Amino acid sequence: MSAPTSVTREQVLRFRVAAQQLDREGRHRDAAVLDIGVQDTGPDGARWALELRGARVADDDLVLAWTLRGAPHAYRRAEAAQVAAAVAPWSEADAAKRIFDAARQYKLAGVPVLDALDHIAGEMRDIAAKPVVKGEMSAALTERLDHPYVRWCERCRATHVYEQPFRLAALQAGLELEPGTSPPVIHRIPRWRGVAKTVPDHLDPVRAVLRLLGPATPKMVAEYVDGTVRDVKQRWPEDVVPVEVGGAALDVLAADLDALVDSPAVDVVRLLGPFDLFLQGRDRELVVPDVGARKDLWRTIGRPGGVLVGHEVVGSWRPRTKGGRLQIAVEVWDGRAVPDGVAEQAERLAAFRGQAFDGFAEQ
């Protein structure tokens, strides 16, 4: 076996910018990130992530569902059944890992996790004969289910179903989320015929992480999908080649090696949303080497967006609305002035929101 190809951190980040089409201009009707799902968290969510990639996808062509990590993600509507198959747990152990503390109660009761998810999905589909608000769905499920499916929630001061099984079962039941609703409205996907039997390569989460957030290890992919490393290893593609990044051994799809090695410098400025895919890799130390900057960018509560200049995330940003006009507060981590191009991107964000840009605000 030949020695791993050595690549630099800069090559990796340039590769990801291109793979995720953050360097793309013009208007397009599709985006590669829809293969893995575009997380729809925060005020701008999936739509802004697509806008940054030049993708203007019609609302009717997207389906929004709780999938990986229980987070809402947007996908191509035409692929909803295949996506449901792609994001479903791979094994009993994998399912248990994904639903956190609920798995222990199922195990104690002798209920296999996969059976539990199927049971919850069946009940959810029945309840959603008409569109239903999430809270109403949860209450209806609680009336139908008993131990081990429900628990006492100290925060809510009420008994209700476990959150992760609730979320992960929804798409398996053929249910989608109504965009722009809070709390979310859940309804049946039109013309649903069930979860697909096969998963095309481009929707396979393991391959998608390698293509869009690679190079990677099975552990990094498992952390992204919230699954087990063992299951990821069992599904590890045969068409990968080893590379070395800063002494770390990683894999990249063989078809992407040339693009990784020859990744050119990119001249872009983007205001990445807090949950943009570029910020979702499990190698945060590579993306943002400075410890203090990482603490600023990946906060547990009140996470800001990232300022991307070329292939580097150089700072964080937060929106401020004042009198119906948009301001943004920018913190550049090395103390320099706000980079050229940020104001233009802020204008773009304001137009996207239907507002006017009113300059920079203080942090």
Q: Is 332 a domain residue?
A: yes
Mean pLDDT in order along the chain per 10 residues (363 residues): 88 98 94 98 95 95 98 98 98 98 96 98 98 96 94 81 97 97 97 97 98 98 97 98 96 98 95 98 97 97 97 97 92 96 97 94 80
- Number of domains observed in the structure of the chain: 1
CA distance 201 to 85: 12
Q: Is 78 a domain residue?
A: no
Q: Is 254 a domain residue?
A: no
Q: If you ran DSSP here, which 8-state letter would residue 41 be given?
A: -
- DSSP for 178-189 reads PTT-SSPEEEEP
Q: What tokens appear for 345 in the block?
A: 């991107």
Q: Is 213 a domain residue?
A: no
Q: Is 258 a domain residue?
A: no
In this prediction, residue 158 carries a pLDDT of 78
Question: 307 lies in which domain range?
Answer: 269-361
Q: Is 279 a domain residue?
A: yes
φ, ψ at 250 (rounded to 5°): -130, 170
CA distance 244 to 252: 10
In this prediction, residue 178 carries a pLDDT of 97
Q: Is 330 a domain residue?
A: yes
In this prediction, residue 3 carries a pLDDT of 84
In this prediction, residue 1 carries a pLDDT of 55
Question: Can you say how many angstroms the Cα of residue 199 is from the centroid of all Cα atoms in its chain?
Answer: 19
CA distance 300 to 295: 9
Q: Is 82 a domain residue?
A: no
State the pairing for strand pair 72-76/305-309: unpaired
Distant-in-sequence, close-in-space partners of 244: CB < 8 Å, separation ≥ 6: 4, 5, 6, 7, 250
In this prediction, residue 155 carries a pLDDT of 80
In this prediction, residue 152 carries a pLDDT of 81
